[in-house]
A and B are shown apart, each in its own frame.
Chain A
Amino acid sequence: MLSKLNKFFSSVKLAIILFILIAAVSIIGTIIDQGDTIFQYKTIYGNNVFHILYWLGFLNIYNSWYFIGLAALLILTLIVSSANRTPKIIKEIINPDLSFDTALQKKRFKAKYISLQSSKNPEELLTLAEKAFRKNFGKPVKDMRNKKDNKTGLLFYSKNSIFRISPIIAHLGAMVILAGVILSAVLGYRSYTNIKVGQTIQHSYLLKNNKPVLLPFKIKLDNYVSKYYKNGMPKAYISTLTIVKKHIGVLTKTIRVNHPLTYDGITIYQASFGHYKPTAAQILVLNLKNKNKKVLLYAAPGKIYNSKINNIKFSFNFFKKPKKNSIPFYISIIKNNKKIGPPLIFQELPYKTKKGNMPLFFTKYNNNIAFIFAGVKTYYYSGVEITKNVDTDIVWIGSAILIFALFFSFFFNQQSLWIRVTPSEPSGKDKTNKIEILAIPHKKFASFYSMIDKNIGEFKKNI
């Protein structure tokens, strides 16, 4: 039972089937957008289809039980097949099976076998064969000539046999990568948050399910700027961040795309930017009696502000039902917490600037004080990705091992060669000796066989 399971999980066929299934499931994930909101899915697919897709796990397919299950099966086959084959291969490298006949039987399908007759004596034949194959095979690994009786003899060559471990190491590399992936998925997290300029945050939201994570420190966004090329394409997004620990700013640094900040095992990446809906109007208050006295205020609708001019207080409001083609906001003057007088309605004045004509919204109170609407205040925010990546190093080490081993398994192939001489029967009349050559490549390459043919041809010429 166990050995059957063992065989099942080390079969390359199973590995191929798993590869195909994983690819097929991955394709689904590229057709259906992953990680959209439920609302988006419902508008795209409709309610019913949405529920089916949800039930099938297609909306978060790379975290679905079957995708993770397939990956786990692949890891299992990798481990079982490696565990099964590695000892055998290492044994073969250290202590190769020299038997001519077993090799011929087992590897017939890729072997080049030739048997020749010659009247030359065995010792001489072997020396000639050695010469013919020296260029491509070097020295024999095992030289089993019986110098005394000068009769049977066997030369065994094995080229690149050490590289038979490269596929093992390639699989090891794949396992290390997968281990690193699992570790970083279990121990690390990827999260996302928006920080307003001036704001300090301590929570971030997981990318996969929007659950909040408490960070071990606070992050304050001191400043945010976007830089643009002349044609309007964005050039850089730059945030200045301060790491705050126990109310003390411990580190201030700017981050840009490709240039994150790492502190305490946590890395903060620039990911996006934007602005919130305006929350306050910018009001310039002018003292008409004394032009030098002016104040710029950010007025949230409905709140009371002091103009600091004759202690006049005011509030900035929107009309509930603005008339068409009229300016929708107004100023109220406040005394003793009560609005006095009619609302001060803004007038539109043409105003020339260097960039062209711009309307200016203007109103005044008692010829004393003027209010100019100078725009709305927008709060920029910087979208940052906050990641705890504990074990990516393992992934990189695994990748390096894999790539290294791929190189050696692809470009260094083992090749074995046997040369055997069997002398004729001493009693026989014709003194022809049999010489057999068996060449087995690890991979069936045409170039290997043509190389062997060439060597054999050379050898034939000499005997």
Chain B
Amino acid sequence: MIHINASILDGSFYFTISFFMIILSFFGYFIYIFTENKLFSMASFIIVITAFALQTFAFIVRWRYSYHIGIDLPPLTDLYDSLVFFAYVILLGFILLKLFYNFDSLGFIMTFIATASLAFATISPLATSAIEPSIPALRSYWLLYHIISLFLAYGAFAASFGIAILFLIKYKQIDNIEQNKNINKAANKGNPLKFLSILYYPFILLYRQFLKLSPPIETLDEAIYKVVVFGFLFLSIGIVIGAAWADNAWGGYWSWDPKETWSLITWITYAIFIHARLTKGWNEKKMAWIAVIGFAVVIFCYLGVDLIIPGLHSYATPGSTPIL
């Protein structure tokens, strides 16, 4: 049974509206990529900004509502809240990047990630928008700063992933530019599997359009680096806040809980990224690959750990046993 989180009272209705808006903007960017008509990308961007504003409003509604029902902390701890917050920072990151670099082609990837996150939040039975009082260990302002810091980092890593995808597509083109001509000639000489190209032709088209619309490769490389280091900074801050909080609450700043360990692994992945460009023979392409892998690690750290490995930090089990 599909149920949709949409209650005006707890603010999830507005998130659901923003979800549909983001889907719309995703299609706008999609059409933009094929038609190259700036009107579509502009309209999509305006929708993204409006959806972002609506989400800001929705957060205020949720926060006030949670105060109203006697919970004196903003609701950020359960799966639903964290997913909508994730979408929120991704949109924020995209808006900022768009203002700095004017990447229209990035909109397609970023709205896609935001759509996925919001869809999970809105439709998945695991995520409920009801605001539940949190367990004693989570009643702390440390938590607020811990989560905000980590999500700024996650948002940045999502953005770096998007840019790295653009980069790799572009890089491939430069790599292949010589070989391609020969291959094309060979391919046209009666390849028996030619009819199959109908199947993958749309992807080729998409790929070509991406190439056309994405900024120069050097700009992409710079943007990946800058976005990653922004994320790395906030990831470090978030981990330190978490450790300080754990020290305060449990008497140990580190206990090798799976989530903790995976956040360290994420941190290490991006530390490798930062050092990779200092090593001879590690070119920009490898850096872009680390940004892609890094985001996979982030997603595992954020959701995979909760869904697969039970531990101190699980979001995924509403009303589960006390986390103590």
Name A's B-contacting residues (CB within 8 A): 12-13, 15-16, 19-20, 22-23, 26-27, 29-31, 34, 62, 181, 190, 229, 231, 233-237, 256-258, 260, 267, 269, 271-272, 385-387, 389, 392, 395-396, 399, 402-403, 406-407, 410-411, 443-447, 449
Whether A62 contacts B256 in the complex (CB less than 8 A), given A237-B136, A257-B136, comes out as yes
**A260–B230 CA distance with the chains assembled, in angstroms:** 34
B160 CB to nearest A CB, Å: 13
A217 CB to nearest B CB, Å: 17
List 11 other contacts, CB 8 Å, given A229-B133, A406-B236, A410-B229.
A12-B279, A22-B268, A234-B135, A235-B136, A257-B324, A260-B249, A395-B253, A399-B240, A410-B232, A410-B233, A444-B221
**A309–B324 CA distance with the chains assembled, in angstroms:** 47
Of A29, A234, A411, the residue contacting B322 (CB under 8 A) is A234
**A446–B264 CA distance with the chains assembled, in angstroms:** 31
Which partner residue on chain B sits nearest A384 by CB separation? B251
Interface string of B217-241 (1 = CB under 8 A from A): 0110110011001101100110010
**A366–B205 CA distance with the chains assembled, in angstroms:** 99
**Residues on A with beta carbons closer than 8 Å to the beta carbon of B132:** 231, 233
Query: Does the CB pair B233–A271 fall under 8 Å?
Result: no
Which partner residue on chain B sits nearest A262 by CB separation? B251
**A12–B233 CA distance with the chains assembled, in angstroms:** 20
Of B139, B140, B222, B272, the residue contacting A447 (CB under 8 A) is B222
Query: Does the CB pair A389–B136 fall under 8 Å?
Result: no
Of A15, A229, A269, the residue contacting B251 (CB under 8 A) is A269
B247 CB to nearest A CB, Å: 6
Query: Does the CB pair B265–A446 fall under 8 Å?
Result: no
Query: Does the CB pair A257–B253 fall under 8 Å?
Result: no
Which partner residue on chain A sits nearest B244 by CB separation? A396
B133 CB to nearest A CB, Å: 5
**Residues on A with beta carbons closer than 8 Å to the beta carbon of B221:** 444, 446
26 residue pairs bridging A and B, Cβ less than 8 Å apart: A12-B279, A19-B272, A23-B264, A23-B265, A23-B268, A27-B261, A31-B309, A231-B132, A233-B132, A233-B135, A235-B136, A236-B136, A257-B249, A257-B324, A260-B249, A267-B251, A271-B324, A385-B251, A387-B251, A387-B252, A392-B253, A399-B243, A406-B232, A410-B233, A444-B218, A446-B222
Does B110 interact with chain A (Cβ within 8 Å)? no
Which partner residue on chain A sits nearest B228 by CB separation? A410
Query: Does the CB pair A27–B265 fall under 8 Å?
Result: yes
**Residues on B with beta carbons closer than 8 Å to the beta carbon of A237:** 136, 324
Whether A16 contacts B272 in the complex (CB less than 8 A), given A233-B132, A233-B319, comes out as yes
Query: Does the CB pair B136–A234 fall under 8 Å?
Result: yes
Contact residues of B between 271 and 311, Cβ < 8 Å to A: 271-272, 275-279, 305, 309
Whether A29 contacts B261 in the complex (CB less than 8 A), given A233-B135, A234-B322, A443-B225, comes out as yes
**A114–B111 CA distance with the chains assembled, in angstroms:** 42
Does B137 interact with chain A (Cβ within 8 Å)? yes
**A410–B218 CA distance with the chains assembled, in angstroms:** 18
Whether A190 contacts B237 in the complex (CB less than 8 A), given A233-B132, A272-B324, A446-B218, comes out as no
**A192–B121 CA distance with the chains assembled, in angstroms:** 38
A269 CB to nearest B CB, Å: 4
Query: Does the CB pair B268–A269 fall under 8 Å?
Result: no
Contact residues of B between 154 and 195, Cβ < 8 Å to A: none
**A405–B219 CA distance with the chains assembled, in angstroms:** 25
Query: Does the CB pair B265–A258 fall under 8 Å?
Result: no
**Residues on B with beta carbons closer than 8 Å to the beta carbon of A190:** 251-252
Does B258 interact with chain A (Cβ within 8 Å)? yes
Query: Does the CB pair B275–A15 fall under 8 Å?
Result: yes
B163 CB to nearest A CB, Å: 13
**Residues on B with beta carbons closer than 8 Å to the beta carbon of A236:** 136
Query: Does the CB pair A30–B222 fall under 8 Å?
Result: no
Does B124 interact with chain A (Cβ within 8 Å)? no
Query: Does the CB pair B233–A19 fall under 8 Å?
Result: no
**A261–B254 CA distance with the chains assembled, in angstroms:** 19
Does B262 interact with chain A (Cβ within 8 Å)? yes
**A234–B136 CA distance with the chains assembled, in angstroms:** 7
B59 CB to nearest A CB, Å: 23
Does B269 interact with chain A (Cβ within 8 Å)? yes
**A269–B252 CA distance with the chains assembled, in angstroms:** 10
Which partner residue on chain A sits nearest B232 by CB separation? A406
Which partner residue on chain B sits nearest A13 by CB separation? B279
**A10–B290 CA distance with the chains assembled, in angstroms:** 22
Which partner residue on chain B sits nearest A35 by CB separation? B256
Query: Does the CB pair B140–A258 fall under 8 Å?
Result: yes
A231 CB to nearest B CB, Å: 8
Whether A29 contacts B256 in the complex (CB less than 8 A), given A16-B275, A258-B140, A446-B222, comes out as yes
Chain A CB count within 10 A is highest, among B132, B229, B233, B251, for B251
**Residues on A with beta carbons closer than 8 Å to the beta carbon of B256:** 29, 34, 62
Of B133, B244, B279, B324, the residue contacting A235 (CB under 8 A) is B133
**A392–B137 CA distance with the chains assembled, in angstroms:** 21
Does B250 interact with chain A (Cβ within 8 Å)? yes
**Residues on B with beta carbons closer than 8 Å to the beta carbon of A411:** 229
Does B37 interact with chain A (Cβ within 8 Å)? no
Whether A30 contacts B305 in the complex (CB less than 8 A), given A19-B268, A403-B237, comes out as yes
**Residues on B with beta carbons closer than 8 Å to the beta carbon of A234:** 135-136, 322
B229 CB to nearest A CB, Å: 4
**A236–B324 CA distance with the chains assembled, in angstroms:** 11
**A367–B265 CA distance with the chains assembled, in angstroms:** 75
**Residues on A with beta carbons closer than 8 Å to the beta carbon of B232:** 406, 410
**A396–B248 CA distance with the chains assembled, in angstroms:** 12
A27 CB to nearest B CB, Å: 7
**A389–B249 CA distance with the chains assembled, in angstroms:** 13
Does B216 interact with chain A (Cβ within 8 Å)? yes
**Residues on B with beta carbons closer than 8 Å to the beta carbon of A15:** 275
**A339–B219 CA distance with the chains assembled, in angstroms:** 95
**A386–B252 CA distance with the chains assembled, in angstroms:** 10
Which partner residue on chain B sits nearest A395 by CB separation? B253
Q: When A and B form their complex, which 7 residue pairs have the shortest distance between CB atoms, in order from nearest?
A: A387-B251, A446-B218, A410-B229, A257-B136, A30-B258, A399-B240, A269-B251
